[in-house]
Structure 1
Amino acid sequence: MRWDRLFEDLEARAAAQSRLELDAEVAERTRLERSRITLGERVAGAGGVPLTVRLRGGTVVRGQVEDSGDGWILLLEEGGRQLLVPVASVLGVSGLGRPQDDTRARRFGLGSAVRGVSRDRRAVVVRDVDGGSVHGTIDSVGADAFDLAEHPIDSPRRPENVRGTRVIPFGAVAMIAST
């Protein structure tokens, strides 16, 4: 009998040690999976949730996630204005909640998103990372910058309305807002 209790005790200890090792492995794998979720992917999982996003340059915007991709987020403000936000200009996001294993973010980059805005030929307001802003129409988009024809926000892009053109590097953009 004494030997039976000893063997039972040893088996119980071995089972408990196995459970501890399994729990540790599961916890480590969970941490590893979470470490691979980018901010863009995390924001993509927040569709329909109102977010507050603080940007470089002191701008704070609020909206729901309409789309996202590799390095960018498209927010929809309550009034219907769309905000294209490079992830590099984000200083903080409130309202996300816990990370989700959601990878709905599109794989195309900021350049593709800016080209989409350019195709619409709508006037935009570009806010830079220092808090400045300029408005006009995006004429063309390169690999790391775009050309903006500056004109009054309430005037169409016509030669007589264009005051000048400006080349804006993607790295300088805090947000591009539709009008």
Structure 2
Amino acid sequence: MRWEDLFADLELQWEANEAAELASELADRSRREAGYLRMIDRMRPVVGYPTRLRVLGGQHAGESLHGTLAALGMDWLLLAEPGATEVLVPMRALLAVENLPVISAAPGHEGPLGAKLDLRYVLRGLVRDRSTCTLRFVDGTTLHGTPVRVGADFLEVAEHAVGEFARRGQIRSGWTLPLNALAYIRRIP
């Protein structure tokens, strides 16, 4: 065996070991970085695109919703359904999202304002606008009415008939419900 062949063989072995170590390090780093990703980081790249969700509140294992992911907050998402309805889904009621892309947004890039826009903030917007809504509970039941007040962990709703407004003579009942009971809220246009 010639010295040149020996050195060439050793060099190839060294390069193969270096490549294997680099591949192992990259795989380990990828797994470690994936451990910092949150669901909102996985979903942020699909804001503005059609998507399908499974959420609590269906008669069996969950309910399927589809539309365009219109907005995303720390603990909520807004889905624009075909037909101009919007559905506000608390993240804790989300069961699954279909076909998310491989890419994710970097963790923690919602900014300080985005971190403050929690579910209660969005619900206060519904109260301010006096929006008529259908509320779906995690047990599958529904309530139709207008949100009237948001607390730290509850929502008060004036129940009234579909097509009516929350006026003194039209209100059937007032409900106070824990936020944890909500599967989603569909705003009626």
- Look up the match of 1:9: 9
Asked whether the 8 Å contact 2:160–2:171 carries over to 1, the reply is yes
Greater Cα offset, 151-160 or 131-140:
151-160
Cα deviation for residue 85 of structure 1 reads: 0.4
Shift of 1:20: 1.1
| Alpha-carbon distance in structure 1 between the residues aligned to 2:101 and 2:36 | 17
Q: Which SS does the other structure have where 1:163 is aligned?
A: strand
Q: Which residue of 2 aligns with 1:66?
A: 70
Q: CA deviation at 1:102?
A: 5.3
2:165 to 150, 156, 160: 156
Q: Do the aligned partners of residues 64 and 88 (structure 1) sit closer, same or farther apart at CA in structure 2, a change above 3 Å counting?
A: same
Residue 13 of structure 2: SS of its match in structure 1?
helix
Q: Deviations 1:45-69 (Å, cap 9, x if unpaired)?
A: 1123221212112132111110011
1:175 Cα shift? 0.5
Question: CA shift at 1:136, angstroms?
Answer: 0.9
The CA distance in 2 between the partners of 1:76 and 1:95, in whole Å, is 18
Query: TM-score scaled to structure 2, two decimals?
Result: 0.85
8 Å CA contact 1:53, 1:91 repeated in 2: yes
Instruction: Give the aligned partner of residue 101 of structure 1.
Output: 105
Contact 1:57 1:129 in 2 (8 A): yes
What are the superposed Cα offsets for residues 137-158 of structure 1, whole Å, 9 maximum, x if unpaired?
1111111111111112311111
- Percent identity, aligned pairs only, is 34
SS of corresponding position for 1:126: strand
Gaps of 5+ in 2: none
| 2:89 pairs with 1:80 | no
Distance 1:44 1:119, change over 3 A: farther
In the TM superposition, what whole-angstrom CA distance separates every residue of 1:61-94 from its partner, at most 9, and x where no partner exists?
Answer: 1111100111211000011111000111122222
Q: Supply the distance in 1 between the matched residues of 2:94 and 2:121 (Cα, whole angstroms).
A: 19
Match of 1:147 among 140, 151, 156: 156
Matched residues in 1 for 2:166 and 2:182: separation?
21
